[in-house]
Amino acid sequence: MRINLFLLAFFFSLSLSAQKKNDSYQLHINKASSPIKIDGELDEQAWQDAEVATDFYMILPMDTSFAKVRTDVRMTYDQQNLYLSVINYNGTEGPYMVESLRRDFSFLKNDNFIMFMDPFDDQTNGFAFGANAAGAQWDGLMYDGGKVDLSWDNKWQSVVKNYPDKWIFEAVIPFKSIRYKKGITKWGINFGRNDLKTTEKSSWAPVPRQFPSASLAYTGTLVWDMPPPDPGTTVSLIPYALGGVIKDFQTDKPSTYRKDIGLDAKVAITSSLNLDLTVNPDFSQVDVDKQVTNLDRFELFYPERRQFFLENGDQFTNFGYSGIRPFFSRRIGLGVPIKFGARLSGKLNKDWRLGIMNMQTEKQSSTALPAQNFTVAALQRRVFARSNVGFLLINKESLNYNPNDLAPGTAAYSRYNRNFGMEYNLASANNFWTGKAMVLKSFSPGKSGHDWTHAANLQYTSGKWNISWQHEYVGRNYTAEVGYVPRQGYVKLMPQITRLFFPKKGPLLSHGPQITSTNFFDENMHRTDNELLASYGMVFRSRNTLTVWGSGTYIKLLQPFDPASTKIDTLVAGSEHNWATVGADYVSKPQSLFTYALNARYGGYYADGKRLTLGGEFGYRFQPYVSIALSANYNKLNLPKPWGYNDFWLIGPRVDVTMTNTLFLTGFVQYNEQMKNMNVNTRFQWRYRPASDLFIVYTDNYLPEPFAVKNRALVVKFVYWLNI
């Protein structure tokens, strides 16, 4: 309890500084003096009259001087749109380095330019827009002061044109596609450039090298000559029509045909508050999850990819910690049809943020799963410079359902599950101190006592040191049916310390050790797990990295566990296991056409066994049109009888063909020996106009041995975005 009170007091003391770091960096934006055509030419009078942001600062390899590569940025606007033009001058001769024309590319593997925009000037939330040197677009929602959710997608246009000495990026962003506070004349703004040929990363307003370019704590200021135009009430209708066929070969039933229509709508209640509606949504075009080998005792986490749940979704999904998520949107509608839903989200003003979501699913007669309603409400209040206090309420309700009325042998579902919580998120003005303190309580039928959770962490990040502390408590009856909480009834303590060194010469850019101690106890503070991990990381000047590590692990099983996932036998609850492991990870330099990442580990395992894991990801790009990748993972387990010797592969080749920045073809295979499944997925996407698409998706699942088709599906989906 003393630790908790100390952390809270420390959090508030760190939050008091409100001075913005880069106030002196200002770019004045004036109304366009002429019409603008997005063509990469920059010959309009409006661009000649616009103020220039130049003299970028270097972030990498060192953050102590101006950038060597020149970048010039201009911005202007008219009544409907925000305009951006960027001249990216060459730092050295040679071809640009890009992966492909695929949208939302990897920042570090491409020559690119990105704008980070904070239209509320709260240094916490915003938008990001950019492109690589081949013209592939990059856009996302910004949250937590420096993170970007690339799953967000909206209407905007851009062109990239290459010249012998430079490449030009020109873009138009409709005011209706973003959210901003009406009447505000100062926005946070920064511009980031990644130039792989010179291995230089830079930004207009200086950002310390230990932070990402997207850090909103270090933005400059975009000063408007008058308040941005009020976009008014905007209604966007996004209907879809879908046709498809599905064949299950294992049951040998006739093919089933899909003929669906549905509708999404976006209503701008204000310039900063948005209402999203959906009726009969479909997410068949979303990429399937990347499979991983699971040798853990707990459920794996897979990220949300469905567009409806993403905008302003951080208010819901970022509440809590990676292992304590009271809300996890993938619990809604996966395997169960969603009938309709609504979400109201956005800013009430500079200090208050609101999110309310309600989703309704259908009844499933085959599993006796009742129709369910999901309601989530989040309210966030900014305090001091960049910190905030948040509240979250979650209610899952089974409608017209009584478990006592079920026939014998039928699976029972809970009538309701509710969660209520609050958290304090710390972010100091210079971002050196960050942290979170949280408390949650659940309400479920027949469960009381030990039904709450508490967690807190504090992290200090400077140029040379990264020191953090985190502790968690989850009661044995705490239940989050709409969340991701794979473990209950524990106390966790996790300190971590990292020290970095920066040689002035030689091949190394930085290097240093890291020590992490992860300790689990039961509710009576009896030890159940602990791992001591020591690693040494090296970053080379060409941006390739090498990390070597070693760990010692102790586990006392709380439940029976099959260490080989073979269903032959299980280790008994209460058994204790100790082992040591060594490993290494290497990532090649991103400038090469052929890139790769390798990892290896060897050491002990459960029941005095041995485990060898080898993994790698390999890629080759025929830039900018074709990118080929292969991921492979091999596990070899040597265990006592009855398990004995087990090994299995997980292999995933992938091909991306980007004919233009609006025409994409993706094909990949996932062979999972552990799950005895091979999946083939092909997706064609034609973005025939901004945010409007035609998708053709083909999927096969096979039994590897004997090789036979399990099921097959073909879906054609047409989506149209209409603003009215």
- Does pLDDT of 92 surpass 80? yes
Residue 156, CB-side half-sphere exposure with 13 Å CA sphere: 29
Q: Which of the four pLDDT bands, split at 50, 70 and 90, describes residue 1? A: very low
- In this structure, what are the phi and psi dihedrals at residue 583, rounded to the nearest 5 degrees? -160, 170
What pLDDT does residue 411 have?
A: 59
- Does pLDDT of 366 surpass 80? no
Residue 478 contacts by C-beta under 8 Å, 6 or more apart in sequence?
440, 441, 442, 450, 451, 452, 453, 485, 488
Give, in words, the CATH class of 21-224: mainly beta
- Does pLDDT of 336 surpass 90? no
Tens digits of per-residue pLDDT, 472-514? 999 999 999 999 999 999 999 999 999 999 998 889 999 999 9
Question: What does the DSSP assignment read for 382-409?
Answer: EETTTEEEEEEEEEEEETT--GGGSPTT
Looking at residue 723, its amino acid is N
Mean pLDDT for 307-316 is 77
Inter-residue contact 382 to 397 (CB < 8 Å): no
Cα separation, 283 vs 719, whole angstroms = 11
**CA nearest neighbour of 236 among 298, 307, 162, 289:** 307
Inter-residue contact 420 to 52 (CB < 8 Å): no
How distant, in Å, are the alpha carbons of 101, 161, 247, 256, 366 from that of 253? 41, 53, 7, 9, 16
The mean of the pLDDT values for the chain is 90
Tens digits of per-residue pLDDT, 21-37? 788 999 999 999 999 99
H/E stretch holding 491 reads strand 490-499
- Does pLDDT of 171 surpass 50? yes
Counting residues of the chain whose pLDDT is more than 90, the rounded percentage is 63
What pLDDT does residue 623 have?
A: 85
Residue 704, CB-side half-sphere exposure with 13 Å CA sphere: 15
What pLDDT does residue 58 have?
A: 94
Instruction: List the domain boundaries for the chain.
Output: 21-224
Q: Which of the four pLDDT bands, split at 50, 70 and 90, describes residue 409? A: low
What pLDDT does residue 18 have?
A: 47
What pLDDT does residue 311 have?
A: 66
Mean pLDDT for 194-207 is 93
Q: Which of the four pLDDT bands, split at 50, 70 and 90, describes residue 437? A: very high
Cα separation, 334 vs 331, whole angstroms = 7
H/E stretch holding 13 reads helix 2-14
DSSP 98: -
Lowest mean pLDDT among 98-107, 189-198, 294-303: 294-303
What pLDDT does residue 312 have?
A: 67
Lowest mean pLDDT among 120-129, 525-534, 571-580, 597-606: 120-129
- Does pLDDT of 415 surpass 80? yes
Residue 543 contacts by C-beta under 8 Å, 6 or more apart in sequence?
60, 108, 199, 509, 589, 590, 591
- Does pLDDT of 424 surpass 60? yes
Residue-wise burial string across 102-131, b where 16 or more C-beta atoms lie within 10 A, e elsewhere:
bbbbebebbbbbbbbbbbbbbbbbbbbbbb
Centroid of chain to Cα 431 = 20
What pLDDT does residue 410 have?
A: 59
What pLDDT does residue 111 have?
A: 94
Is the pLDDT higher at 647 or at 723? 647
What pLDDT does residue 350 have?
A: 79
- Does pLDDT of 349 surpass 60? yes
| Number of other residues whose CB lies within 10 A of the CB of residue 503 | 11
Cα separation, 444 vs 50, whole angstroms = 60
Centroid of chain to Cα 578 = 34
Lowest mean pLDDT among 100-109, 417-426, 675-684: 100-109
- Does pLDDT of 666 surpass 80? yes
Mean pLDDT for 216-226 is 94
How distant, in Å, are the alpha carbons of 125, 143, 220, 555, 693 from that of 319? 15, 12, 28, 29, 32
Tens digits of per-residue pLDDT, 602-646? 999 999 999 999 999 999 988 888 989 999 999 999 999 999 999
| Number of other residues whose CB lies within 10 A of the CB of residue 461 | 18
